[in-house]
Structures are given as C-alpha cells and as structure tokens.
Amino acid sequence: MTTVVGIGETLLRLAPQDGDTLESAAALTVHVGGAEANVCASLAHLGISTAWISRLPANSLGRRIAATIRGFGVNVDGVLWAPDGRVGLMLVQPGAGPRASEVLYYRRDSAFASIDPDGVDWTLLDGARVVHLTGITPALGPNASRLVERSIAEARRRRVRVSFDVNYRAKLWDPPAARERIEPLLQGLDIVILNDRDAAALFGESGSPDAVAHRLRPRFGCGILVLTLGSAGALAEDQDGAYRQSAYPTQIVDRIGRGDAFAAGFLHGYLARGPAEGLRYGAAMAALKQTYRGDVCLATPLEVDAVLRGESGTFHR
C-alpha cells in the first residue's frame, strides 16, 4: 500500500556542462525532474512506498519521463497518457559566482496543463498516509489548478494527510497572483512547507523566523508550519511548540532539488517520529542532495544516518 502520493508535472531539464553557457554549449545534459516526483523518488530511495500522478504525452519524451520515475522505484500507474501534446522543458544555465544561474521554462500548454481531474484514478489515494502537492501546479493553468483543489478534497475524504510545499516560481506568476490562489488552498492543511523568501514575497511576513512561523501557522490554520532558512537551517511549529534544526555542511555539486529533498526527508522523519525528527532528516537530505547531479536525492538510509551521526565526508574502505 502506498505511503506517499505526489501529484504534479515533471519536466525534462536541459543544461550545459560546467563552464559552458546556453549560448555556446555544443551539447546539453538531460535530467528528469519535477517537485512532486522528486519527493516521491527521494522517499523511494529511503524504502518508502510512493506513487506519482500526472499526465504525459504518449511519445518518446513522455515515455522517457515515466520510465525514469519508475526506475527510481515510484509507482507510475497513475499517469494519464495524452494522445498528443508535449512535455515541459526547463533549460538551466548554471552560474559560477559572481555570475548568477538562470532558468528558462518552456512548459506552457504542456500535456499536463490540460489534465482532467475527473480522469484521475483517485483510488490510488486509498490507504495512503500523505498526499504531497506544491504551489507550482496551480500556476500551470485552470485545469492544473482544479487538480490541486480536487486532490485536497479527495485526500480529506479519505482522511489522508496533505503536505503542501509553497515552492513559489517567479517565472510562472507574480506574487499577488500566487498569493491569491495559493493561500486559500493552504487553509486547514496538515503540513505547509515554505522558505523564508516566499514567506516575505508572497505573504508579507519577515523578521525573526520564529515570529514568522508563529504568525503564519494560525493564518493558514495548518497543523504544522515548516519554514526553511537556507544555510541557517529550518524550523517547524505545531500545536505543541516550536522546533529548530541547523543545516548540515555540504559540498555543492547541484543545488536544484534540494528543497524537494528536504520535503522528502521531513515527511520521512515526521511520519516516523514527529516534527523534530522530520527537521533532522530534512536537513540531512537537503545536504546530501546537493552532492548529486540531477533533481533527485539518491541517498540511502545508511547515508542519511551517517550525516545524522556527524560522519560527513568519511571515507569508507
């Protein structure tokens, strides 16, 4: 029986090799990634049963995405197949200080954007413990936005907890539009995750992280509010109090997907032993993700436990 179900779009990520730019690169590397699928894939590497619901075109690129997600150990039986359409693309130009990184999206009118919530096999949620959603999906069009509403309703009907990562994307919509659509979706959810930048940009909440979390949790009426703080770690607040966690040191190879790895680690620890353990696992997974290329944290339970024990960088032989 599935433990976590992720619902959302997955893209092909194209990027030049280190030092090259999109203007000059003769070749691009290809990775498969999408916030919700990344969480499911990372959890699958920890031995958690996961499933991913989405819509893909029935062509070679759609099949590549499904095969890759399946290869991570995620159940993809919930994927709807479109007779035509296209997959979304994300082109990444990695930065190297002081040059900033840049992301270009080509995902408008993708096969996923036309998903019909009535076509989803909602029985895949039966028996699950968590449905994981993000604020990316409602930015992709009316159908995708309705899908998020329906996902929350179907989860509540089955008494399945809902985890929602705000995951604001400025390339998709502006802060007022995002706030107007996302904030009503957050009301009464079990778990809301967001970073301190989105708390300020979308919801006008800045200042002490503890104060921000203390104001946002009742504003959303959520069970637990998780606020990530980059290199300063993360904190969470629920009805029993507040919890803090420092970030673990890491060597950065690829930053993309670290927030999804944190969400996966948080869900893993939270479901096992509560918010404090969720923060510990989330921080460890975020650190480990940045050591891998691609969108998914490929860490095993043994590797995560090593970070939690402070054995970072140990040479095993």
Domains and CATH numbers, the chain: 4-304 (3.40.1190.20)
Give bridge partners of residue 130 from the DSSP assignment: 4, 161
Please identify which of the residues 18, 260, 295, 305 carries the catalytic annotation.
260
Residue-wise pLDDT tens for the chain (317 aa)? Answer: 799 999 999 999 999 987 788 998 999 999 999 999 999 999 999 999 999 999 999 999 999 999 999 999 999 999 999 999 999 999 998 877 787 888 899 999 999 999 999 999 999 999 999 999 999 999 999 999 999 999 999 999 999 999 999 999 999 999 999 999 999 999 999 999 999 999 999 999 999 999 999 999 999 999 999 999 999 999 999 999 999 999 999 988 888 999 999 999 999 999 999 999 999 999 999 999 999 999 999 999 999 999 999 886 655 55
Strands (E), the chain: 4-7, 11-15, 29-33, 50-57, 75-82, 89-93, 102-106, 130-134, 161-165, 191-195, 224-228, 234-238, 241-245
Q: How many CA atoms lie within 13 A of 233 on its CB side?
A: 15
Query: Annotated catalytic, 260?
Result: yes
Q: In what order do the strands lie in the sheet with 241-245?
A: 75-82, 50-57, 4-7, 130-134, 161-165, 191-195, 224-228, 234-238, 241-245
